[in-house]
Amino acid sequence: MKVEALKKRLDKNRPMTTITIRMPEDVIEDLKRIAPLLGFSGYQPLVRTYIGQGLRADFERLEGDTVSALIASLKRHGVSDEVIQEALGEVTQS
């Protein structure tokens, strides 16, 4: 994820929207019980954290798969490892 996009994600004053989601009652009770033990003010911030963690993991996995496929394609087209590593270094420095 780009640095600017990450900074926006970490902004505590981001606009929020209300959603409705159906969940089993026992799951909500478990969330309410564990949230304060993990330092959360309530179960909703904990749920947002769980969703955010899963979303970041999926983005990393999916973006990583794309990068891996691109690298493999470049190698098949005769691009040297040195050039690929240099390009990756340029991209990850931002």
The confidence score (pLDDT) of residue 9 equals 67
- In the structure encoding, which two tokens stand for residue 40, read together? 């959360």
Position with higher pLDDT, 53 vs 11: 53
Sign of CA dihedral 7, 10, 13, 14: positive
The confidence score (pLDDT) of residue 51 equals 92
3-state class of 36 per DSSP? Answer: helix
* DSSP structure string for 29-44: HHHHHHTGGGT-SSHH
Distance of CA 85 to the CA centre of its chain: 24
Show Cβ contacts of residue 46 under 8 Å, excluding neighbours closer than 6 positions: 31, 34, 35, 38, 40
pLDDT in tens, 4-52: 666 666 677 888 899 999 999 999 999 999 999 999 999 999 999 999 8
Domain that holds residue 62: 3-92
Total tally of structural domains belonging to the chain = 1
Question: Quick check: pTM over 0.85?
Answer: no
